[in-house]
């Protein structure tokens, strides 16, 4: 099998240079890769329905006799139509083909064929455009449908796959060892490959699929666990004493029970009683107080004589976090420093020296922290916030700044537990399922743009009372920059709200400018902050009590929820106004969900349901390789099995060098190459 990955696709019959390029384009440059290029769907020809009762508008097979020979008519230059009528006795069916003179010879009057396509039409009239056709005796049971590209049809791909299957060595070495196949009732690789492409029954297809899904998830888990083990040598575990009591007494508020629990769980992990460093995910809705949890842990780490670091995805957020952590920790005499890309060289040099010398206790920053030259004296705790924005490799790089540091991941995107397991390997999970007391529900309204003026009136009242407001600016028009669109909108607002200070925040601004604007907003020198979604994460201004979001339909549910979480952070009743003229049903559903609930878990579930996990965790967000056949949501049970097997396998053969594991090892390397990781080299 491995050798087929060296065999170029052009070595197959009928695949010339040009076609080989197309195969490369769809992701099958070699014969081996082609065998792993699974169909995206199947046509089941095995149960034709009577034309009269066949479902409309979904592809299905019918079995019918040709009544008349195809009639040719030229629709326009370059477009010739062929039309014929067929029948199965229940009803006639008009069939059309375009630019396919071949059907004139192929379809013989009086003969029976299978036609596969979408039936349309109304009362007693049925049509099928460009069906697949097969003589009765040659009809496949189930035929594969591949992702095609211009010049390379699904049928051509099927032809090449047919040849590739004949080239499989006999016997083939199955990468999944036999004992595991037996234990989990998985079919052999040969059966799986033959039947994922050309199944004779739907049952065989299911068997093949299950095995390939298992294999893919096993490879994924082996890779993730291996990546993790590189940072988990566990030669030395930093032992952190529990100083949380002191910290909680210094807090200006009483911690929620959920916060206490999360802190206690993490301190137990870090207490030196286990053989591993901590790897914990703290999930909590916006406003649940994750920062205080992180602060409590940093506090105990520093009290135990070590350093901590917190990495966040944006500069604005880094500054905010730095400020709040200073508020928590400086009264205890701890030193908190900020490292971002915009530090002057002189300041940076000084900071790096102090960090290395151990004068800085907690370093807060953006991914600048993982750059070369940043060295700690004694890093014992690594915290990442809004983790879903960092990739696996960034997390690994950050952990490598210390000697096996404890790891805390904070996420405001509630993820079902099993999915979290998949993405984070074997992180333990704490959930902040409680908001600090006194939080009020944020009233949320969806309005049409015709009522925007009324919303502006509402905003004006709040500003008159000294409150502040966020406005998320409209969709950027094509050919216009982000900046131009924010500024234009701000100009309009300035005219509408004379005498009110309007500030502007967008992604193109220099960090210094952003910081200045944010600072003014925090100080209430700005009443209306017009922004793109850069305020999405983390920013905390309790006096801002209204948020208006233009073109609300263009955001996903989780993003809207994050945005809305910027208000409602103080004791005052807050509101969120979603402006949208969307007609499309899914968008309307989304806005409705927002108006109905403020429960982040419910919103995340809806988001997953509406958009599917693919979008929810776009590759660039989680840093995981793309999967070909497994589905994160649907295959959770298999995922858990695969994880168990992976753990067991690595505990016996940590680098998969044993003969029985070599095939899997090669696959892990291949899968993770996509995301720039070099597992097992
Ligand atoms: P998030 O979980 O979204 O990161 P933050 O950590 O930013 O939430 O906390 C939101 C706000 O709630 C902050 O102003 C913080 O000081 C405050 N806060 C956190 N915990 C509590 C608590 N137990 N009681 C009252 N206010 C709290
Ligand atoms: Mg936060």
- CATH number of the domain that residue 81 is part of: 2.40.50.140
Residue 620: its pLDDT value, please? 41
Which protein residue has the closest C-alpha to ligand 1 atom 25?
Answer: 436
pLDDT mean across residues, the chain: 87
38 CA distance to ligand 2 middle (Å): 41
Single residue among 432, 453, 473 that ends a domain in this structure? 432
Which protein residue has the closest C-alpha to ligand 1 atom 5?
Answer: 289
Query: Is residue 488 within 6 Å of ligand 1 at its C-beta?
Result: no
Q: Are residues 129 and 82 in the same domain?
A: yes
Q: Are residues 326 and 275 in the same domain?
A: yes
Residue 272: its pLDDT value, please? 82
Selection from 82-86, 430-434, 471-475 with the highest mean pLDDT: 82-86
Separation between Cα atoms, residue 671 and residue 673, nearest integer Å = 6
Ligand with smallest separation from the Cα of 285: 1
Q: Report yes or no on 644 lying in a domain.
A: no
| Closest ligand 1 atom number to CA of residue 290 | 2
Residue 388: its pLDDT value, please? 58
Residue 381: its pLDDT value, please? 96
Which protein residue has the closest C-alpha to ligand 1 atom 19?
Answer: 289
Q: Are residues 392 and 417 in the same domain?
A: yes
**pLDDT, average across residues 454-472:** 96
Q: Are residues 452 and 565 in the same domain?
A: yes
Residue from 263, 329, 409, 436 to probe ligand 1 pocket by mutation (most atoms less than 8 Å from CB): 436
Query: Is residue 287 within 6 Å of ligand 1 at its C-beta?
Result: yes
Q: Are residues 369 and 301 in the same domain?
A: yes
578-595 pLDDT, tens digit each: 999 988 888 898 899 999
Number of domains in the chain: 4
Q: Report yes or no on 162 lying in a domain.
A: yes
CATH number for the domain including 359? Answer: 3.40.50.300
Instruction: Answer yes or no: is pLDDT of 668 > 80.
Output: yes
| Closest ligand 1 atom number to CA of residue 254 | 23
Beta carbons of 528 and 563 less than 8 angstroms apart: no
Which protein residue has the closest C-alpha to ligand 1 atom 23?
Answer: 255
Handedness of CA 20, 24, 29, 32 (dihedral sign): negative
Beta carbons of 546 and 567 less than 8 angstroms apart: yes
Q: Report yes or no on 181 lying in a domain.
A: no
Separation between Cα atoms, residue 323 and residue 333, nearest integer Å = 15
Beta carbons of 237 and 650 less than 8 angstroms apart: no
Find the range with the poorest average confidence among 307-311, 392-396, 657-661: 392-396
Best CA proximity match to 545, nearest among 441, 437, 453, 450: 441
Residue 427: its pLDDT value, please? 72
Residue 5: its pLDDT value, please? 83
Which tokens belong to 539? 């920013």
121-173 pLDDT, tens digit each: 877 889 999 898 999 888 778 999 999 888 999 989 999 999 999 999 988 89
Q: Are residues 426 and 341 in the same domain?
A: yes
Residue 305: its pLDDT value, please? 96
Residue 97: its pLDDT value, please? 94
Separation between Cα atoms, residue 549 and residue 470, nearest integer Å = 8
Residue from 260, 287, 562, 568 to probe ligand 1 pocket by mutation (most atoms less than 8 Å from CB): 287
Single residue among 556, 578, 597 that ends a domain in this structure? 597
Query: Is residue 292 within 6 Å of ligand 1 at its C-beta?
Result: yes
Query: Is residue 561 within 6 Å of ligand 1 at its C-beta?
Result: no
Residue 621: its pLDDT value, please? 45
Using a 10 angstrom Cβ sphere, with 0-12 exposed, 13-18 middle and 19 or more buried, the burial of residue 510 is exposed
- Where does residue 87 fall: left (phi above 0), alpha (psi -120 to 50 degrees), or beta otherwise? beta
Residue from 247, 261, 288, 292 to probe ligand 1 pocket by mutation (most atoms less than 8 Å from CB): 292
Q: Are residues 476 and 515 in the same domain?
A: yes
Banded pLDDT at 437 (limits 50, 70, 90): confident
72-87 pLDDT, tens digit each: 999 888 889 999 999 9
Q: How many Cβ atoms are within 10 Å of 307's Cβ, its own excluded?
A: 24
Ligand with smallest separation from the Cα of 431: 1
Instruction: Answer yes or no: is pLDDT of 612 > 60.
Output: no
Beta carbons of 366 and 341 less than 8 angstroms apart: yes
Separation between Cα atoms, residue 372 and residue 194, nearest integer Å = 49
Instruction: Answer yes or no: is pLDDT of 557 > 80.
Output: yes
Best CA proximity match to 569, nearest among 673, 470, 451, 643: 470
Q: Are residues 297 and 428 in the same domain?
A: yes
Q: Report yes or no on 422 lying in a domain.
A: yes
Banded pLDDT at 617 (limits 50, 70, 90): very low
Separation between Cα atoms, residue 500 and residue 493, nearest integer Å = 9
Q: Are residues 427 and 375 in the same domain?
A: yes
Residues with Cβ < 8 Å from 81, sequence gap 6 or more?
Answer: 72, 73, 74, 75, 96, 97, 98
Which protein residue has the closest C-alpha to ligand 1 atom 18?
Answer: 289
**pLDDT, average across residues 194-219:** 95
Q: Are residues 510 and 560 in the same domain?
A: yes
Q: Report yes or no on 119 lying in a domain.
A: yes
Handedness of CA 158, 162, 164, 168 (dihedral sign): positive
Q: What is the pTM of this model?
A: 0.64
Q: Are residues 529 and 422 in the same domain?
A: no
328 CA distance to ligand 1 middle (Å): 12
Output 609 or 260, whichever has higher pLDDT: 260
Place of tokens 């899968």: 671
Query: Is residue 539 within 6 Å of ligand 1 at its C-beta?
Result: no
Query: Is residue 290 within 6 Å of ligand 1 at its C-beta?
Result: yes
440 CA distance to ligand 1 middle (Å): 14
Single residue among 562, 582, 597 that ends a domain in this structure? 597
Query: Is residue 436 within 6 Å of ligand 1 at its C-beta?
Result: yes
Q: Are residues 449 and 558 in the same domain?
A: yes
Q: Domain of 162?
A: 1-40+154-168
Separation between Cα atoms, residue 559 and residue 533, nearest integer Å = 9
The β-bridge partners of 672 are none
Residue 391: its pLDDT value, please? 63
Instruction: Answer yes or no: is pLDDT of 198 > 90.
Output: yes
Which protein residue has the closest C-alpha to ligand 1 atom 26?
Answer: 436
Residue 619: its pLDDT value, please? 39
Selection from 52-66, 180-194, 366-380, 592-606 with the highest mean pLDDT: 180-194
**pLDDT, average across residues 395-402:** 79
Residue 677: its pLDDT value, please? 58
């Amino acid at each position: 099998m491995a050798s087929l990955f060296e065999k170029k696709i052009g070595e197959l019959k009928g695949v010339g240079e040009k076609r080989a390029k197309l195969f490369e384009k769809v992701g099958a440059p070699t014969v081996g890769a082609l065998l792993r290029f699974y169909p995206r769907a199947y046509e089941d020809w095995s149960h034709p329905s009577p034309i009269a009762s066949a479902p409309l508008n979904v592809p299905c097979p019918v079995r019918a006799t040709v009544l008349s020979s195809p009639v040719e008519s030229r629709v326009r230059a370059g477009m010739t139509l062929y039309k014929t009528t067929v029948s199965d006795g229940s009803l006639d069916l008009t069939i059309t083909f375009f630019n396919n003179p071949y059907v004139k010879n192929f379809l013989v009057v009086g003969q029976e064929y299978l036609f596969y396509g979408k039936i349309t039409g109304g009362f007693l009239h049925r049509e099928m455009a460009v069906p697949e056709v097969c003589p009765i005796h040659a009809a496949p049971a189930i035929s594969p449908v591949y992702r095609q590209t211009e010049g390379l049809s699904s049928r051509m791909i099927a032809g090449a796959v047919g040849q590739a299957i004949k080239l499989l060595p006999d016997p083939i070495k199955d990468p999944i060892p036999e004992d595991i196949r037996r234990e989990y009732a998985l079919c052999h690789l040969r059966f799986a490959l033959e039947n994922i492409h050309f199944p004779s029954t739907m049952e065989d297809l299911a068997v093949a699929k299950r095995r390939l899904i298992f294999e893919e998830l096993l490879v994924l888990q082996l890779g993730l666990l291996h990546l993790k083990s590189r940072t988990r040598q566990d030669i030395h575990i930093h032992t952190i004493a529990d100083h949380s009591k002191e910290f909680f007494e210094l807090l200006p508020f009483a911690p929620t029970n959920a916060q206490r629990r999360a802190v206690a769980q993490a301190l137990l992990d870090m207490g030196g009683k286990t053989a591993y460093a901590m790897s914990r995910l703290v999930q909590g809705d916006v406003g649940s107080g994750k920062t205080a949890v992180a602060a409590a842990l940093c506090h105990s780490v520093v009290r135990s004589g070590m350093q901590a670091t917190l990495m966040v995805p944006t500069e604005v957020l880094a500054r905010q976090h730095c400020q709040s952590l200073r508020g928590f920790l400086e009264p205890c005499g701890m030193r908190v420093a900020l490292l971002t890309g915009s530090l002057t060289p002189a300041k940076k040099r000084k900071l790096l020296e102090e960090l290395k010398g151990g004068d800085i206790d907690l370093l807060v920053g953006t991914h600048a922290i993982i750059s070369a030259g940043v060295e700690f004296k004694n890093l014992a705790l690594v915290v990442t916030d809004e983790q879903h924005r960092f990739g696996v490799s960034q997390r690994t790089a950050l952990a490598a700044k210390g000697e096996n540091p404890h790891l805390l991941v904070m996420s405001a995107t509630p993820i079902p537990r099993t999915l979290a397991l998949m993405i984070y390997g074997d992180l333990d999970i704490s959930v902040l399922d409680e908001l600090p007391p006194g939080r009020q529900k944020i009233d949320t309204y969806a309005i049409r743009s015709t009522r925007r003026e009324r919303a502006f009136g509402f905003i004006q009242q709040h500003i008159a009372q000294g409150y502040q407001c966020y406005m998320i600016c409209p969709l950027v028009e094509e050919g216009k920059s982000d900046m131009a669109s924010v500024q234009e909108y701000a100009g309009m607002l300035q005219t509408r709200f004379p005498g009110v200070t309007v500030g502007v925040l967008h992604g193109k601004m220099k960090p210094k400018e952003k910081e200045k604007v944010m600072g003014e907003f925090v100080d209430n020198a700005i009443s209306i902050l017009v922004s793109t979604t850069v305020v999405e994460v983390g920013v905390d201004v309790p006096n801002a009590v209204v948020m208006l979001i233009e073109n609300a339909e263009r955001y996903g549910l989780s993003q809207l929820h994050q945005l809305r979480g910027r208000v409602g952070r103080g004791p005052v009743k807050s509101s969120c106004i979603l402006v949208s003229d969307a007609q499309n049903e899914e968008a309307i559903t989304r806005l409705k969900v927002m108006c109905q609930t403020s429960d982040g878990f419910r919103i995340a579930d809806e988001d997953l349901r509406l958009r599917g996990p693919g979008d929810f965790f776009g590759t660039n967000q989680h840093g995981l390789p793309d999967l070909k056949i497994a589905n994160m949501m649907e295959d959770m049970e298999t995922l858990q099995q695969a994880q168990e097997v992976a753990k067991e396998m690595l505990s016996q053969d940590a680098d998969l060098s044993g003969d029985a594991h070599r095939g899997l090892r090669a696959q892990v390397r291949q899968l993770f190459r996509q995301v720039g990781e070099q597992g097992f080299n």
